[in-house]
Structure formats: structure tokens, C-alpha cells
A and B are shown apart, each in its own frame.
Chain A
Amino acid sequence: MDSDMEISLDRLPIKRLESIEENGAERFPSDVDYDDKRVSLIRRIDFAWALEEEDELKKKKQKKSSKDSVEQWKWKGMVENLQLAHQELTVIIDLIDTVQANDAVTVAGMTRPKPMPNEILSDLAVSTATKLQGYRNLGNYFKQSAKALEQKINREARFYGALIRLQRNWKVKRQRMLASNASNEGFTIDLSDSSLYDPTSGFRPSTLSTIRVDHDSAGMLAINVPQDSWYSLRFGYVGLNPIGNSNESDEHIDSTTGHDIPGTSEKLSASDDKYVKETHSLLREVHKSIFAEQLFDMLNREAFNEGVGFNISGLRENFMEMSIGQGASLFVSLHPSGKNPSIKKSESATLLIESSGRVEPAEGGDYRLKKLGFPNRTSYEIYLQQIFHEHAFGKAKDQLKSKSIRASNQTEKDSNSGLLDHFCLSLTHRIFSNRVLVHLESVVCKVPYLHLISHPTWNSRTSSWTVFMTVPPSIIPQGRSETQSPDGKRNLKTQFRTKVVVKDDCISVEAECTPNVVGLLKSSSCNLFSINKYECDVADLPVMILQQVASQIVCWLLEEARTVGTKASREFLSLSLEIVEGERVSLVAHVNPEDAKGCISWWLVMENGCTEEREGVSESRKLLGHLSLDVLYSVLMDLINLCGTGRNALERL
């Protein structure tokens, strides 16, 4: 206890690195304050007690000597010892507390050994080697992450490259809300036409109008379309066209690109270019499907409006059937055209069988279509889409123009409602005009001097033709003609026209030299330039046309007869010449559209004032047959010659 107390505490010789700077310089904690700290610690240790102890020991010795002299208190020494022990204990506890509080109390002075040069080198070598190792690890780590990053960037480049290419043709939108999903950046392709979704226009946005763009497993752009949710529009004639898709091989052929719709396999191997094209055609299919849905939707709404051109006879989900004029019935249906249409198709087919009960095989359909005058189905499917397209987008354009001066909803509805009606009327008109044309052609084919010309009308519900006849030139030289009208205009026509105009299902015939009310009366002249206009129906058309033509021929002959100075008169389709007083001979036209040889035949009829003298009717009538205009003209000239020679000559006929 009384020995010297030695306490030597030092820091562990670990030098902790405080930081490494970016350039690699290592920074250690500064050891400037080490000595200061040590000094301050030393100052805290109180050695006063040791001095006191020595003093007391001296005193004790003095006291002992005095004790010897004065034996005062027996226990005094023990008390002192106990006090000393307590003192000592207090110091030790103090020290222990101090040590506990400061683990770095150094009492003994220590000089740090100065490292040898070789030691510095080896230390340096070790730390360099460690550092090198660290750098290597770091390098590997960077390499790995660079590779991963590059992969990621490549994937992104493919994705965004494809997206940008699609953006050229499609409206790409980004929604942040959807971007939470890992496989989705929140991109969507908007296939709707905002101009069509004006609340007043009443178009419902299709479920397909927004298509989500995802990454597929390879990171490539993938669009998410339910495969069986596309529709295509079908249009056809009930009983003549199969409702279902008759030609399954054409199912997936896009008419513009001819590409097959991409399958799920081979996507990886397909080049990006091809893949984008496939996506493109897929989007196009969907776009077309939306269009078909819109069109059908609109037709459905129009079906409830009043229309003069159609009569709805069947209405189901995705199917409507209507009868239009001319005995034709149409169907328009939305037909599933996705990957898995077979089930739905059979459903719709059975639907039709139930609804109409008269689906006939398609064979011979073409022939029957032609016979009935029905135009090409595909053409009219296109026409239906065309007028809708024009209407929808044309109207959208108009709306933009007149947004400020918005017309009332009423006018919009008016323009809306006529579409199906217009389509049905156009189709009815085409069927009707085809039948009219068949009649006209049959007439023109049988009468050799007639020609048929068709005229452009620029209108889908109007057709126009002209039946044209050129008569042979007069043998009378023009200069000596008596029929020069005062204004110098020659009064002889060489061409006669009968114009047939069909509007919707009304035929109007406009003809020169027509047997009008005046003409029906016995008259000695007819106005070559008069034009008469009237309407007729298709059954009467051939007869009407033939009567027109015959009347024109009679007119011509009459004028020719008058040119040479013969007294002649006409009565409807007959031309009468007076041969001698009271005796007349007539050329009478007889029209018969069923006559395969020439439709217009001519009779020579003789009549005199005392018909009763004649023996029989048969002798007074003689069939001349189907005469060409040249022959007819020479017959006329012969008759005119007879006028001079008198009755006897006539009897020789």
C-alpha cells in the first residue's frame, strides 16, 4: 500500500482513418492535442495526499515518541490507521472513477518510437496492396452495374424507339397514375377521335379506344388488346350473302398492308422493324374495329328514326336487318373478327337462321345478284363506310369552323338522321336503275338504229341515259328545201333524243317530237323541237321508249314528205298520205317490246271514202315488217311517187 503507485495507460496504437479524399489522400485525425490531453489528465491527479502522508509519518514518529512518554489513548493508533485506510481508499476510488471516465489517462510519459525507413515502406506496401484490392472490387462492381445499365438502356431504347415510331401515326398519351406498375410506364395509345366524342354528337367512346402500352418480358413494347374483342362490319343482302365470314382465309388480312396479325410467338426473333409494323397493323385493326362499332352504333340509332328508304325487320345485338325498296333486304352486322371468332360466328349464323329462316347457299349468288340488279356487295359496304366517314369527319370539321356560331342541336340531328336513309335510297336507286338499264339495253339491242348513251350525273341517287337516233340525210338538197324557217334555221332534224332520267325510283322521260295531247289529234304537222316530259314506271318503259322512237320516226317522215311538197298528216303513230281524193294510205308503226326481231314493225294501211266496197280488211292492211330507216325512207318516197300516179298504181301494191 505504501509502495509507489504506477498507472500507465495509453491509447491503443490503432490509427483510425478519418476520411479518404476524392484524390485518394488519406486523412487521419490530428494528434496535435495528444500531449495537451495528456498534460491535462496529469493535472487532474492530485498527489497532495502522498505529501501529507509523509508529513503524518513524521508526526507519528514524533507522536510515538510522545506516546511513549504520554500513554494517552490506547485506541488512538487504530483510529488513525482506520482514517488512513479510508483516505487511501477514497483516493483509489477517485482514481478508479477518473480512469473510468477517461480511458486514456496516461501518467507515464512515453516517447513514440521513430519508425525505421523499411518499416515505412512495408506499411506503405501493405496499404497499397489493400487499396489495390479495394479498387479491383470496386472496378468489378462498376463493370457489373455498367453492363446492367447498358442492358437497361438498350431495352429502353428499343421500347422508346418503337414508341416514337408508333407516335408518328397514333396518339400516344402518358398518364402518371398508371406508371406505378413496374411493367408499365403509363403510356397509352388513344384511338378515339376527340372530335367525335362531342357530347352533342352522341358517340359513345369504345372500350377499345384506349390501349395500354406495356413492356413485354424482353422489355419490348407490347400492346394489350383483348384478342376476341374486335369487330368488323358486315353488309349484305339477306338470303344472298352469308352472314358469317364466308372466306375464313381472309380473316386476318388487312387490306392495306396485307400483314398477318402478329402472333405471340416469334416476337423475340422478329426484328424491331417488323415488330413495329405488326403492332402498327394490330392498332389499325383495332382502329377499324372502333370505326365499325361507331358506324353500327349510329346505324342503330338511326334505325329508330323515321326513314322513307328503309323498314327495319330485325334488330338484335350486333345485328340489324332491314328491307329497302325493290324487294331487297339488307343486313348489317358487327362480326367478331378477333382470334377466336368461331364460337361467336356460329352464334350469329344461327341467329340469322332464326330471324329470317331463308339463308340460301352462296352458290349462284353472283348470277342471282346480277339478275336482280343488285350491285356489288363490297362496293356498297365501302359506300356505307364512306358516307359515314365523310359525314362524321366532315361534320367534325364543320363543327370546328362554326364553333362560335354553334347551330342548335336540332339542325345537327337533322343532318344526322338522313344517313341511313340516304344509303338505303342510294342502294335502292342503284338496283332500280340497273333494272331500268336492262330494259333500255334490251330495247336498244333489238332496234338497230338506236343507240344508248349514259350520262354522268355526279349523284348517287340520279341516273341518266339518252336513247339516240340518227336519221338518214334527206335526198332533197338543202338549198332548195322549202322548209327553211324565216330565221334561216333548217327545219329538218337528223338526230332525235329521248332522255331518260331516274331519280331515286322515279323515271322521267324527256323526248323530242313526242305524241302529246296536240299530237294525238289529227294534225298536219308536228313541232320537231317540242319537248315533252312525263313520268312512267319501269314496266311501261320499253313501250314508252318505243312509242317515242316511232313517233319521232313518224315526225321525221312527215317533215320529209312535206319537204317534197306532199300533203301528209300524222295521227299518233301513223303517217297518212292522200293519194287521190278520198283515198289515203298510211304508214302505221306497231311497237312490241317482246318482239325479238325488232320491236318496231310497220304496217301499210289503205283506206278510202267507201271502205264498204272493199272485200275484206285483210286486203287493206299489209305488214311491211321491221324496216330500217333507209328502207322506210324509200318506202315513203315510193308512196309519194304514187301520189302522182293515182289509185291504179296503188292497187298494184
Chain B
Amino acid sequence: MSMECVVQGIIETQHVEALEILLQGLCGVQRERLRVHELCLRSGPNLGVVSSEVRLLCDLDQPEPTWTVKHVGGAMRGAGADQISVLVRNMIESKVSKNALRMFYALGYKLDHELLKVGFAFHFQRTAHISVSVSSVNKMPKVHAIDEAVPVTPGMQIVDVTAPATSENYSEVAAAVSSFCEFLAPLVHLSKPSISTGVVPTAAAAAASLMSDGGGTTL
């Protein structure tokens, strides 16, 4: 069973540029653009004993949109999981063809909600393959109307840090993720998705320091 380690946080849009500079420095890799249409599907009553939820992700940054289906399982529970500062959960992901949506509809899934995430991402190797995405989440007034999308939280963007893991190595991956998150602490506080922590009060000062060219050191 493949797993993933996740932490999330929010940042004000005005500080995103500073975050990008910081991430660029921490990761050392080139930034990737991010434009993903996310469709959340929920199984109908006649499918299985419990209702299930799948996400169809459509990468719009490609010349031809590519589709991914993703099932996010429940978070790991127990005392061990509580001690880890990142959320560890089961996750299955697969590339699918563009017919996937029609297939899921035919299976009896219903569209629950859809989102459009626009931003950028960094993918780098540090103990694990860590991906950091900074995106603004948009909702659509009409079904699939991605051109008319409006931000859900204007002035606020979401920061996701994810890393794939297995049941053998998740503790090391979680440690790598949380140690990476500490570097972002002046700008954005990252925590398990269920715990909302709000914006960091020092963000403005830290961003100003990063943006000024004569600025100080940040480590």
C-alpha cells in the first residue's frame, strides 16, 4: 500500500513571491507551473457498502490535458501517528485517459465539487521526493467552467507539501518533511490538514527581508 505524508498551510498572496524565493533557495531546482482542475467524485448509494471518494486531477498546464485519478485513504491513527507532525495517509494514484470522467459517471459516481488550483510547484529530492505546491484555489460558478473560476479565498493561497512513502519508510519521510517545513516557518506554518493554524504573524517581516536585495540571512 502506498502512502503519502502531507502538511498544509496558508499564506497571504502578497507574500507568495517571497516564499518562491525562499523555496527556490531551499530546493535548488527549477520552479514548475501548476494549473490543475480537480474534480471530486463521490460514489452513489448502490456502489459498495460505504461511500467512496475519488479525485480526478486534470493537469491543464500540458498542451493536451493529462488526467490522474487519485484516491486518498484515511489518515493513520493512534499514538504513533499523533507524535508525528505530518499526516500520513494511504493514497493510490494512477494516470488515466481523458475518458475517466465518463467512466466514473457510468459507474455511478457523482460530481461532488470541483476546484481549479493555479500556482507553482517545486519538486526536489531530500531523503524523499518532496513536492511543494503553492496555489490559489478557485471555484467555478458553473460546472466545468474553468475560465470563469473565481478564488475561494481571495488574497490567500494554500501551501501543500507532500511526499510519497511506504509503510516501511514513512517515519523517515515524515521526519524529512517536517524538517523541511521548519525552514518555511518564518513565512508559513505547515501542519496536518485537519489542524488549521492560520497565517504566521512574522510573515510580513520575513517576506520583507527576503525581498530586499540587501536582505539578511534566513537560515
Task: List residues of chain A with CB under 8 Å of any chain B CB.
Answer: 232-233, 241-242, 245-248, 250-251, 253-258, 288, 291-292, 337, 362, 365, 375-383, 385-387, 389-390, 426, 430, 433, 451, 453-454, 456-460, 463, 468, 470, 495
Contact = CB atoms under 8 A, between A and B. Distances in A.
18 contacts: A248-B214, A250-B212, A256-B185, A256-B206, A258-B206, A288-B217, A291-B217, A381-B217, A382-B22, A382-B219, A383-B28, A426-B28, A451-B62, A453-B62, A454-B30, A454-B33, A456-B121, A468-B62
Contacts of B24: 375-376, 379, 382-383
Given A258-B206, A386-B25, A463-B30, A246 B63 contact: no
A458 B25 contact: no
B210 A255 contact: yes
Counting chain A CB atoms within 10 Å of each CB, the highest count among B185, B206, B212, B214 belongs to: B214
B112 to A, nearest CB: 29
Interface in B4-38: 21-22, 24-30, 32-33
Interface stretch (B87-95, B96-104, B123-131, B166-174): B123-131
A250 B213 CA distance: 10
Contacts of A248: 214
Given A387-B28, A470-B64, A377 B205 contact: no
Contacts of B186: 255-256
Interface residues of B, number: 41
A377 B209 CA distance: 13
A337 B219 CA distance: 16
A456 B130 CA distance: 11
Interface of B: 21-22, 24-30, 32-33, 61-64, 121, 123-126, 129, 131, 183, 185-186, 202, 204-206, 208-219
Pick the 7 closest A-B CB pairs, nearest first.
A382-B25, A258-B205, A460-B28, A451-B63, A456-B123, A247-B214, A246-B214
A250 B208 contact: yes
A385 B30 contact: no
Counting chain B CB atoms within 10 Å of each CB, the highest count among A247, A379, A495 belongs to: A379
Given A254-B216, A256-B202, A463-B30, A379 B21 contact: yes
A479 B206 CA distance: 63
Given A255-B205, A382-B21, 17 more contacts: A242-B214, A246-B214, A247-B213, A253-B205, A253-B216, A255-B218, A258-B205, A365-B213, A378-B215, A379-B21, A381-B25, A385-B217, A386-B183, A453-B63, A459-B29, A463-B30, A468-B63
A256 B32 CA distance: 27
Given A458-B129, A468-B63, A246 B213 contact: yes
A381 B205 CA distance: 18
B216 A337 contact: yes
B206 A255 contact: yes
A493 to B, nearest CB: 13
Nearest to B31: A454
Contact of B213 (A378, A457, A458): A378
A433 B29 CA distance: 11
Contacts of A251: 216
B213 A382 contact: no
A375 B210 CA distance: 14
A463 B123 CA distance: 12
A386 B28 contact: yes
Contacts of B212: 247, 250
Contacts of B131: 456
A513 B131 CA distance: 34
B217 A250 contact: no
Contacts of A458: 29, 123-125, 129
A453 B59 CA distance: 12
Contacts of A385: 25, 217-219
A583 B1 CA distance: 65
Nearest to B59: A453
A375 B30 CA distance: 10
A157 B208 CA distance: 38
A257 B208 CA distance: 12
Contacts of A382: 21-22, 24-26, 217-219
Contacts of A257: 202, 205
